[in-house]
């Protein structure tokens, strides 16, 4: 059995990818966190989902993105389930 080496994804890479994908989608677009994970690490994207959620929360607190639940901005400290990310127009 071969032991696959896990790739290290930096926090900076996660932040950059979230912001790039959200900016590319524009203020009307939405980005799925899973798509960010696949972009960063297609072979093992599930391993990044928790970190993307935490990073998204930090970016929302900093005023760079909105976390959307059912199409509406959600409280970054209190959201559950399926969510999407959207760039804030002021950040573009």
Q: Judge contact between 11 and 17, C-beta under 8 A.
A: no
Residue 52 forms part of a structural domain: yes
pLDDT for the residue 57: 98
Residue 16 forms part of a structural domain: yes
Residue 3 forms part of a structural domain: no
pLDDT for the residue 4: 56
Q: Give 54's contacts (C-beta < 8 A, 6+ positions apart).
A: none
- The C-alpha atoms of residue 65 and residue 83 are separated, in whole angstroms, by 12
| pLDDT < 70 regions, the chain | 1-5
pLDDT for the residue 90: 87
Domain that residue 40 falls in: 11-91
Residue 24 forms part of a structural domain: yes
This prediction's pTM = 0.91
- The C-alpha atoms of residue 57 and residue 65 are separated, in whole angstroms, by 9
Residue 1 forms part of a structural domain: no
Tokens of 90: 């002021």
For the stretch 38-61, pLDDT in tens is: 999 999 999 999 999 999 999 999
């Amino acid at each position: 059995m071969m032991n696959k080496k896990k790739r290290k994804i930096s926090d900076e890479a996660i932040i950059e990818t979230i912001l790039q994908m959200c900016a590319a989608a524009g203020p009307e677009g939405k980005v799925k966190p899973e798509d960010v994970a696949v972009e960063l690490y297609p072979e093992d994207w599930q391993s990044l989902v928790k970190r993307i959620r935490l990073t998204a929360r930090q970016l929302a607190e900093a005023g760079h993105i909105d976390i959307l639940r059912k199409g509406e901005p959600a409280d970054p400290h209190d959201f559950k389930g399926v969510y999407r990310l959207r760039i804030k127009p002021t950040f573009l």
